[in-house]
A and B are shown apart, each in its own frame.
Chain A
Amino acid sequence: KAGVTQTPRYLIKTRGQQVTLSCSPISGHRSVSWYQQTPGQGLQFLFEYFSETQRNKGNFPGRFSGRQFSNSRSEMNVSTLELGDSALYLCASSFGPRTGGTGELFFGEGSRLTVL
Chain B
Amino acid sequence: DAKTTQPNSMESNEEEPVHLPCNHSTISGTDYIHWYRQLPSQGPEYVIHGLTSNVNNRMASLAIAEDRKSSTLILHRATLRDAAVYYCILISPTGAQKLVFGQGTRLTINP
Q: Chain A residues in contact with chain B, CB under 8 A?
A: 4, 31, 33, 35, 42-45, 48, 50, 55-59, 90, 92, 96-102, 104-110
Q: Judging by beta carbons under 8 Å apart, are A102 and B101 in contact?
A: no
Q: Judging by beta carbons under 8 Å apart, are B49 and A43 in contact?
A: no
Q: Judging by beta carbons under 8 Å apart, are A96 and B95 in contact?
A: yes
**CB of B23 closer than 8 Å to a CB of A:** no
Q: Judging by beta carbons under 8 Å apart, are A45 and B99 in contact?
A: yes
Q: Judging by beta carbons under 8 Å apart, are B87 and A43 in contact?
A: yes
Q: Judging by beta carbons under 8 Å apart, are A43 and B95 in contact?
A: no
Query: Across the two chains, which residue of chain B brings its CB closest to A104?
Result: B46
Q: Is the interface of B mostly helix, strand, loop or mixed?
A: loop
Q: Judging by beta carbons under 8 Å apart, are B95 and A105 in contact?
A: no
Q: Chain B residues in contact with chain A, CB under 8 A?
A: 30-32, 34, 36, 41-46, 49, 87, 91-104
Q: Judging by beta carbons under 8 Å apart, are A42 and B97 in contact?
A: no
Q: Judging by beta carbons under 8 Å apart, are A109 and B93 in contact?
A: no
Q: Judging by beta carbons under 8 Å apart, are A42 and B93 in contact?
A: no
Check A109/B43 contact, CB under 8 A, given A45-B99, A101-B91: yes
Give bound CA distance, A110 to B102, whole Å.
18
Query: Across the two chains, which residue of chain A brings its CB closest to B104?
Result: A42
CB contacts (< 8 Å) of A109 on chain B: these are 41-43
CB contacts (< 8 Å) of A44 on chain B: these are 101
CB contacts (< 8 Å) of B32 on chain A: these are 101-102
A51 → B minimal CB distance (Å): 12
Give bound CA distance, A45 to B87, whole Å.
14
Q: Judging by beta carbons under 8 Å apart, are B31 and A101 in contact?
A: yes
Give bound CA distance, A35 to B34, whole Å.
17
CB contacts (< 8 Å) of A48 on chain B: these are 95
Give bound CA distance, A43 to B36, whole Å.
12
Give bound CA distance, A110 to B45, whole Å.
12
Q: Judging by beta carbons under 8 Å apart, are A97 and B95 in contact?
A: yes
Q: Judging by beta carbons under 8 Å apart, are A33 and B99 in contact?
A: yes
Give bound CA distance, A42 to B94, whole Å.
24
CB contacts (< 8 Å) of A33 on chain B: these are 99
Q: Judging by beta carbons under 8 Å apart, are A107 and B45 in contact?
A: yes
